[in-house]
Structure 1
Amino acid sequence: MNRNDLLGYVDDVRRIVANGDINKAIILHFDLMMGTYQQRPLFYKHILKFDRFMVAVALLSFSFENPKMPLSRVKDFCRDRDYMSSNSLDSLFSFFETTGFMDIFTYEEDGRQRLFRPTSTAQTAAKNLIHAYVKPSEDMSPGWRGLASLALPHNYVSYYYKGFAKVLDANVLLGHQRPDEKWIMNRDGGHLPMLALYVDNLRNPGSKADQKVATYSNLSSRLGVSHTHIIRMIKEGESRGYFRCNKHQVQLQPEFSELVRRVMINIFAIARVSIELGAAHLGSPN
């Protein structure tokens, strides 16, 4: 599938997802993500920032695509996509190694090259995150021929990342086209602070588009990020028209709800397409 065909297919899946119960899917996604996040909040708040997360999924995708992929190739790819600078990438690779996310070792056939492999810890984390991305959209369109017909294995990490490698190669990703989406996700905790505000609003009986939800302190405590970080995010969102601030409470504006739904529709669509592409490529699990 060439890039134009892939773009067209992702758009088709977006429309399917958009016609489902997106709010129900968002709530389930948020709950699943928080279940994983709270196991290692310091780790996840660091890697879920959009640019860092893209580096992490690039490492996993390239590893499943080619176990002998040099680390330098992944570094060049991420730098060329402007995810991070060379120095920042080196620091992040070291962080992944010290936190048990990946092993880095010298290539026996060429001592100048370093290879890498995701650890069992990384694969467990990846499986949990993939589940949080894929599961919420399964019931959104029961008649859809996609995931329901795949009969995925229990461990479908290889499916997802082999497919996601194709999405990466085609550069069909969130944030590349819309800076406003990347802005709110490229922070500590990634998209979870955004979803915490949105889901609080959904779960508030009789809520309205501008319902007051979640104090700064509450968000800071639940997500393990600093009070200052939350304030800065909200203040910047206010300047963009997404929030109104009233003392220590946040009022969501309709523009924010539209942003969240657009972001999550894209996330769910990319996840489903990745699984399909990987299944078509592998035929059967590794």
Structure 2
Amino acid sequence: MVVSIINGRRREIGLDEGLDAAIEAYYNATQKIYLTHPLYFKVMFKANRIIIFLAILGGYYTLDNPSFKEVKKLCINNELLSTNALDSFISFLQVGGRLAITRDGQDKRKLTYQPTAKGVNEVRELINSLLLTYSMIYPGVDLAQRVDHSDFMADFFKNYTQVIVKEMFVYDAVPDSRAFLTKDGGHMMMFHLYVESLRQRTLAVQYNYLKASAAFSVSRSHIKRCFQAAERLDLLYLKQDGKTIELKPRFIDMVREAFCFYLATVEYGVLGAR
């Protein structure tokens, strides 16, 4: 049921004439969030990391005594991260002040956790960035009013956890997006390319690697390697002048589909099966 609802909503959202304006608004809102802690978000926006953090939050809001057991099972079943990589990521969240970890009061071998206000507020901002664009596509539906109450995150994750349990991940729903979303800063680079094509009103985008490098806290060589991987998938073509990127229809379709997936899953988090 969850899968059919989200897939149906993805298709419906994708037909909206205002999709380009919504994608640009989403990019602008997300960029502001990204720039607050670029060294953190360039890692967090990698598809498997954000999935794991959302799973951690889902466990916290839906389980009486949350532990990392279910998170580890999710990682192993879906080959998201190795055990060592997951432990490193959990430490990354803890050191960054997004996750508090303690020993269970009755079983000292078991670790329990609680997201910090910092971690929760950042996720809430990311959800808001999508609800902002949702209101552009569906101006008659005010989802924002649901955010402004103390139980919002708990209510949201009771629904959103169903998406994770069904193993609905963006790079499976939109396979070509792996070329970007599995890379540091790739989420922003993908949407940045799309938005630049809108702003320049052409698929032959003049791209400033230096500015992008500074904005996304990754090296120019990293960006070029990411684009070269996308070129091998026939998503784009890197012209010999070193600054022009010709976007293919396949790239445009990929970004639109990924955005519609994000919007449909967040809508489900807010509204559930209604």
Report the TM-score when normalising by structure 1. 0.88
- Contact 1:216–1:248 (CA<8 Å) still a contact in 2? no
Where structure 2 has 5 or more consecutive residues not aligned to the other structure, the ranges are none
Cα distance between partner residues in 2 of 1:255 and 1:76: 34
- Contact 1:16–1:141 (CA<8 Å) still a contact in 2? no
Q: What code does the residue aligned with 1:133 have?
A: L
Structure 1 match to 2:54? 57
**Does the residue aligned with 1:183 lie in a helix, a strand or coil?**
helix
- Contact 2:235–2:247 (CA<8 Å) still a contact in 1? yes
Cα distance between partner residues in 2 of 1:67 and 1:215: 49
Say which of 223, 227, 230 aligns to 2:223: 230
Cα distance between partner residues in 1 of 2:135 and 2:8: 16
- Contact 1:130–1:157 (CA<8 Å) still a contact in 2? no
- Contact 1:49–1:190 (CA<8 Å) still a contact in 2? yes
Cα distance between partner residues in 2 of 1:12 and 1:240: 27
Say which of 232, 241, 244 aligns to 1:239: 232
Equivalence map 1:69-108=2 (5 Å)? 69-108=66-105
**Does the residue aligned with 1:191 lie in a helix, a strand or coil?**
helix
Structure 2 match to 1:196? 192
Q: 1:90 to 1:141 in 2, by over 3 A?
A: same
Where structure 1 has 5 or more consecutive residues not aligned to the other structure, the ranges are 281-286
Q: What code does the residue aligned with 1:15 have?
A: R
- Contact 1:130–1:160 (CA<8 Å) still a contact in 2? no
The Cα RMSD (Å) is 1.9
Q: Deviations over 1:23-46 (max 9, x none)?
A: 111111111111111000000001
C-alpha displacement of 1:67: 4.6
- Contact 1:50–1:190 (CA<8 Å) still a contact in 2? no
Structure 2 match to 1:283? none
C-alpha displacement of 1:196: 0.6
Q: 1:271 to 1:190 in 2, by over 3 A?
A: farther
Cα distance between partner residues in 2 of 1:41 and 1:186: 16
Q: What code does the residue aligned with 1:154 have?
A: D
Q: Deviations over 1:220-278 (max 9, x none)?
A: 12211111110101111112111221232122222211111111111111111111129
- Contact 1:104–1:117 (CA<8 Å) still a contact in 2? yes
Report the TM-score when normalising by structure 2. 0.92
Cα distance between partner residues in 2 of 1:268 and 1:227: 30
Return the structure number with greater helix share.
Answer: 2
Q: What code does the residue aligned with 1:216 have?
A: Y
Cα distance between partner residues in 2 of 1:259 and 1:63: 32
Q: Deviations over 1:95-120 (max 9, x none)?
A: 11111010010000111110011001
